[in-house]
Structure 1
């Protein structure tokens, strides 16, 4: 039986999320539904919801993804996985997207919802549990990660230092196929992103296998 944490949202909540506006780096808006369903029925879309923009753990996670899950690799995946696109969604101010991409050498499109509404709508957890336990996808200690976050906040200047997003907001990994939600993983603590290897294994499962894992599949 699925735990409540990784159960798909209701049809109503998913539809609500699809119609929410996200911001691109230049501040322009786009509906979440356009991102996951706007390129046709053959495209698999992996959505990575990250923590705040200054989170050193998540920065290392995005670096790891950029190294191991390249756009070229995703676009050439065979059926049923490919072609696949990966997008990243944050919860801070849009003005921090470009600095975040520079810091992480991110190769994927990043959007954000500073209000955090999409996180709340999709029932992603708020907690600081696991903060002092560095995840496998980082080589930093907790103290070094905290120092890195504070240093970046200082360097960003007073107008943006506190606009990175809520520190207790966690994210997760969501996989869509042609607008259908196929897989949900919500982080249970600060260090709980799926590894690049785990993500690739799930992407390459067919719809029936994923459906057996996570119940009903919902469509945009």
Structure 2
């Protein structure tokens, strides 16, 4: 009989890991502060924070000093300036006007003149609305005019010329040029505007303008549609086309579907419904005319959402401009008459 020895197994007993005592929430350390690295702009343009404003020592107040030291806001600094928007000065400029003494107090004895001074200050804004329209938008600077100088525009025969040839003093026949940018060649609102302009500034008034001014119309459709547009609008002015719309874009004229809430004077007899119906009628009649447009020309009148504006050039520079905010926002004829010094502003 064989006896087998059994090797005893060794059992290792490990002590349990010690658990740290539970800490309260307040005993946890604060998270490390986030360090923001300087941005590329801050590294390129370092700036020093401004010093804190000085703290003035205030004198103790008494019931009498509260009333004697009280003062009302002064409008003298604003009343001492006004903006000249007369037709003789188309650029906005600050001029001095007669007003009360800026150093005088608004309190005279026990009589407060605050309301009277406020009325005098705000009276400058209660003027004719047409005068307010004489305020110019931001005029294109020299760099912008240099960028648009060589953009081609086309006449009815498709012949190209540079846009700069219209206002360059070496090429233009007049000292000033009023260039009207219209919408697409089927827009009834712009057609009504050109008609109103021809009627509101007849030849007798045109030749009485103190500074010789040439009127020019530019649309965004195809140039071969210019004869039809002259027929639609009864325009006596030269018309050119910018089908690429580069002029419109570079000079800051945008696109929109907004027809505007206010009906302008040049469309006072044309409602929005009649406006849309008139455009459709005009296109339909022109399609039936042997010398009118063709079906393919319906989509060649220009971008339907493009809006325009008016730019007044003098000696090769823009001295006044208005960019339309909606589809019926051409400058009123009464404003143009004041701008061109036909009427007194």
TM-score for both structures, normalised by structure 2: 0.54
Provide the C-alpha distance between the structure 2 equivalents of 1:17 and 1:91, rounded to a whole number of angstroms.
15
SS in 2 for 1:162: helix
Q: Which has the larger radius of gyration?
A: 2
Deviations 1:86-113 (A, max 9, x none): 0000000111111111121111000010
SS in 1 for 2:339: helix
Matched residue, 1:200: 337
Matched residue, 2:172: 39
Matched residue, 2:137: 6
Deviations 1:117-156 (A, max 9, x none): 1000101021111267543211221122112222333423
More helix by share: 1
Q: Please tell me whether the aligned partners of residues 153 and 242 of structure 2 are also in contact (alpha carbons under 8 angstroms).
A: yes
Alignment RMSD: 2.1
Q: 2:158 aligns with which of 24, 27, 32?
A: 27
Matched residue, 2:193: 61
Tell me the CA shift for residue 20 of structure 1: 0.7
Q: 1:140 aligns with which of 255, 270, 275?
A: 270
TM-score for both structures, normalised by structure 1: 0.83
SS in 2 for 1:160: helix
Provide the C-alpha distance between the structure 2 equivalents of 1:99 and 1:143, rounded to a whole number of angstroms.
23
Higher relative contact order (CA 8 A, sep 6+): 1
Provide the C-alpha distance between the structure 1 equivalents of 2:329 and 2:226, rounded to a whole number of angstroms.
22
Tell me the CA shift for residue 114 of structure 1: 0.8
Provide the C-alpha distance between the structure 1 equivalents of 2:196 and 2:167, rounded to a whole number of angstroms.
23
Deviations 1:15-67 (A, max 9, x none): 11121110001110111111112225x61110000111111111000000011
Answering whether residue 239 of structure 2 is matched by residue 100 of structure 1, we say no
Q: Please tell me whether the aligned partners of residues 170 and 187 of structure 1 are also in contact (alpha carbons under 8 angstroms).
A: yes
Q: Please tell me whether the aligned partners of residues 264 and 332 of structure 2 are also in contact (alpha carbons under 8 angstroms).
A: no
Tell me the CA shift for residue 11 of structure 1: 2.4
Provide the C-alpha distance between the structure 2 equivalents of 1:153 and 1:18, rounded to a whole number of angstroms.
34
Provide the C-alpha distance between the structure 2 equivalents of 1:61 and 1:130, rounded to a whole number of angstroms.
15
Q: Please tell me whether the aligned partners of residues 57 and 135 of structure 1 are also in contact (alpha carbons under 8 angstroms).
A: no
Q: 1:49 aligns with which of 163, 166, 181?
A: 181
Q: Please tell me whether the aligned partners of residues 253 and 308 of structure 2 are also in contact (alpha carbons under 8 angstroms).
A: yes
Matched residue, 1:214: none
Q: 1:182 aligns with which of 319, 331, 334?
A: 319
Please, which runs of 5 or more residues in structure 2 have no aligned partner? 1-82, 84-91, 93-135, 288-292
Q: Please tell me whether the aligned partners of residues 75 and 85 of structure 1 are also in contact (alpha carbons under 8 angstroms).
A: no
